[in-house]
Every structure is written in structure tokens, then in C-alpha cells.
Amino acid sequence: MSMAISAIHGTTLRNHYTNTVKNTRPANNYAYVTFQHQSNDTFVKQKHSNISFKGYDRAAAQQFIEQIEQSKAKHLARGWQCEFYKINDEIGIKAPKPLHPEYQNADFNGYGNVKEFFALKKINEISPDIAVTPYEIINKNGKNYLVEEVLTGGHPYKTQLTKGHVTDILNKAFTLDTNGIVNNDLQGGNIILTGKDKTKFIDFGSFSILENSGHYINSDIRPAEQYQNGTIANLVNSTKEGRFMATFYSDYQPDFLMRSDNKFLKMDSNATVFEYRTIYDYLKTGHDEKPKDFFSNYLKIKSEQYHGKMIEFLESLKLSKTDKAQLDMRKNAVEQEKIFKEVFANPSENVMKAELGKMQLKWLVLCHGDQQHKTFSYFQDYLNMINTLEQNAQGTEKKYFASLKERISALNFEHEVFKGRELADDENLIKIIFENVKAKAKETINKATQDIIEIIEKPSPIPPEKAGGKKTAALLGLTGILAAGSVYAYKNINEKKQKQPELKPRVLAQSA
């Protein structure tokens, strides 16, 4: 497969030490990693000024790291690999977690911070409005501390998402997708609603970045020193034509599970990750009083802000006029994007059900890790639904269902790790939105509660000395009604708690 590749510039990453640090290195053991900005980097798509380090005080960061090392500072948030500390309103620090027997495989040296620093710098070169600003990596006693901007705001888990928020996130997703940088963990806890209709991404600890060869480099696999010594920087300057080839038609061969875009859903896409990680969880929270309207509006926004822009991007590519394979690939990609754009512009209930189910399927595949084998009897039900919807559809909608069925049918879900439980009603998005499962359950519980109140308040004709036994029996009976309502609302909840612990959203607006 031919692919246009730009000239590779010199490394953009270098190590340096200030004179002060050089003179005191034996005592303080500090080292720094920073970037040398290059405006001719082919990843840069937008005009921008040099990144501002306003408010950054290196001395304050050094002093605070000393406090962390001496266990004198208290973290504000904690993730799997790191703890987040706030120095002041401008500066925060991501520190490696202390050694702990519970986290035997954790990154106690902060190598992930080095990788995240690399990704955040690349992103800020593309646009300073997409993600948190990284200041630098400070190495102290073999540990890597990421010094970055502090952001305040809420998460999609905690508040209502507006049309403006969704539009802003999809715009950012499109910019990153067409620049070959993907946040593999774009869940609500990694998105900050910074103001009215404005957002920023705060955590790129797990990311993929496009390599000149046309494949994505997975940060979870490559060693940190390759990011620090400039090796990765030399590999990631491919042209947007190269990015098109990788994004839409990667020749990466999956194992028993799909990973390449032409198999399913654009694995390497911020828009897709945002959908099955954030939109999925948001719809389950119940924050939106009209989830059907929210999802319909979401698809309409996606039609214009993502698929519409993707069509323009694809048509702007300068492909070889003699390379029929590339031209045919683009033609097919444009046709596919036009189908999405049209059906999402005014989505029918059937299209909404198909998209909700697809989102659910993606979540089940990728978001449970070793729990995958407990989640996949849902697959056949979904495929049967798509078959029925295709048979009853017409025009562009019929093409949409046929394309979706072809993608889903090509997946190998017969593997033993996928055999297991069905979705409970309280986690099935189609049932939640179109059958009002949660609303019905809430009504049942409210009615049972009201019945209890009426029994307690109603004067009893039974003599006082005998009333206690009767009232107690009535209360016990209605407690059973409450329990039944709860079971209806939260089917299999005990099984979920035991076997599939819920991912807890971050409480604080920082990356940890």
C-alpha cells in the first residue's frame, strides 16, 4: 500500500538541565524534560502562538515535590497509576503512587507521565484549546512528576451536558482524529466542563499516535525512554494523506477481536471513544430528563460537526491521480460518511436504537477487561434487531443498516471469552430510553413508599394493644413491594457488584 510520508524533522524532544540544577544535582537529583517547539511540524494544523507558561513557577513545583517525597502533602485525587496534587490555582502535579501491595503492577516510577507529557505537548501544538497545558516533567529520585495546568469545572457525570458542550467535544475529537492522536480513555472523568459550552480534556495517560508507517503507536506498549529520547518524535510526522490511509484503511490484522477501523466503528477515533465511554455513562446517570431528545440532538450535532467535516477533510486530500486503490478508498469513505451524515441529521427511532446498541456493544467489548467473558450473549440479540430494521427500511436508511450489519457480522464473537450473561434492564440503553425502564421502576418504588405512609397515617380500628402486630405485618408486606420494585429497577445488581465493579468517576476536576 503506497502512502505519502513527509520528511522527518529533527527531534522535538530534548533533555536539559539548568545551571543551578547542574551544580546541585547530587543533592537534589532533579532533571527536566521539555520541548523545543517547531512550527513546521506537519501535525500542526492551526495557527497558534507559542504556548504560554504564564503562572508557572518551577521553584514552587520543586519545593512541592520535596513535600510529596516526605509525605507532607495531601493529594486531591487519585487514579490507578497517579495521585494529583494542587500547588496553587495555576499549577498541579501528577505524582506516581507510593508503593503499595494492592497495586503490584502500578507504574510507581511515573513512566506514564513521560508519555502523557509527550502527547499533551503535541496536542497543544495543534491547538491550545483542546487539552490541559503541560509545563514539564521533573525527575526526582527516579520518579517522574508531571507538572501541568490546573483546571476547575464539572464532569459530564455530575452535571447536564448542553448542546454546546457536545459540539465543543466533537470539534475537539475531529481535530485530534484528523491529526492522528487518540485518547484511548476519553471517559467523562477525563473531560472538564470549563465554562458555558466549553470543555477541555485533562488526561492522556493512555493514547495512540499515528506512526509514519501507517500504524498507531500504543502508549501502553512502548517504553517511556522512546518518548523521552526523541525516538517517537521521529516516527510521528506523517502527512494527512498518510493519516487518512491509516485511519480508514489500516492493514493492521486483529486477533480474534477487531481493532482496525474497517472492521468496526473506527477503533482509533476520539469521537467513538467519547461515545461509548462518556455518552454511554451519561445516559445511564439519569441527569437528562429527556434522554431520547438528548440522544437525537447528539446525533444531529455529530452529523454536522463530525461527519460533515470529515467529508470535507477527505475531499481535500491530495491523493495520487494514478493510484486507483487510494482513490477508490477515499470514494468509499466519503460515501460512508455521507450515509452517516444523512441518517443522523434527522434520526428515526430505529436509527437511534441501532446507534445505542452499537455503543453498548463497543462498551461491552472494550470496557470490562477481564470481565468480557461475562457480557456477550447481548451480541446475537443486537444482530437480530439490525436484521429486522434493515428489512423494514428504505433508501439511505436501508444502506445504513446493511453497512452496520456487514460490520457486526464480520466480527468473531464466538470466542469463548465472550460467552456469558445478558444485559440487565437497568444497563440496557435501548430499554432505558425507549421502554422507560428506570422511570417505571421509580414509579413502582414511589407508589410502594406512598402506600407505607398511608398505612402508617391511617387510624387503625384495631385496639391499641393489638395494633402493633398488624401494622408490623403490613409494613413487612410493603417492604416486600419495595424490594420487588428495586429488583425491577436493578436486575442482577448484586451479581454486578460481585463480578463487575462499576467504574467510579473522578470527584475532582483534575487528572490523576
Written as tens digits, the pLDDT of the chain (512 aa) is 333 322 222 222 222 223 333 333 344 455 555 444 343 333 333 333 333 455 678 888 899 999 988 888 888 887 777 889 998 888 899 998 776 656 666 667 889 999 999 999 999 999 999 999 999 999 998 899 999 999 888 888 778 889 999 999 999 999 998 888 999 889 998 999 988 889 999 999 889 888 887 777 889 889 999 999 999 999 987 777 877 766 654 443 333 333 333 334 445 689 988 998 899 989 988 778 899 999 999 999 999 999 999 999 999 988 888 888 888 888 988 999 999 999 999 999 999 999 999 888 888 776 655 555 555 567 778 889 999 999 999 999 999 999 888 877 766 666 555 566 567 777 889 988 998 887 777 777 766 776 666 666 665 555 555 555 544 444 334 333 333 333 333 333 333 334 433 333 333 334 33
3-state secondary structure of 50: coil
Q: What is the Cα gyration radius of the chain?
A: 26
Strands (E), 24-178: 30-35, 77-78, 82-86, 91-96, 134-140, 143-149
Written as nine digits, the cell of 449 is 413508599
Ordered alpha helix ranges (H), 70-110 = none
Question: In sequence order, what are the residues at sequence separation of 6 or more whose Cβ sits closer than 8 angstroms to the Cβ of residue 183?
Answer: 176, 190, 201, 203, 204, 206, 207, 270, 273
Question: With 0-12 CB in 10 A as exposed, 13-18 as middle and 19+ as buried, what is 328?
Answer: exposed
pLDDT at 44: 34
Place of cell 410493603: 478
User: Could you give the angle at which helices 349-366 and 395-409 cross, rounded to 10 degrees?
Assistant: 20
pLDDT at 24: 39
Tell me the CA distances in angstroms from 507 to 156, 325, 339, one per residue in order: 11, 49, 39
What are residue 346's phi and psi, to 5 degrees?
-145, 75
* Contact by Cβ (8 Å): 216, 268: yes
Q: How many residues does the chain have?
A: 512
Q: How far apart are CA 5 and CA 243, in angstroms?
A: 9
pLDDT at 287: 76
Question: In sequence order, what are the residues at sequence separation of 6 or more whose Cβ sits closer than 8 angstroms to the Cβ of residue 245?
Answer: 1, 3, 214, 326, 329
pLDDT at 376: 58
Per domain, the residue ranges of the chain are: 1-151+204-236, 152-201+252-424, 431-491
pLDDT at 459: 59
Question: With 0-12 CB in 10 A as exposed, 13-18 as middle and 19+ as buried, what is 365?
Answer: buried
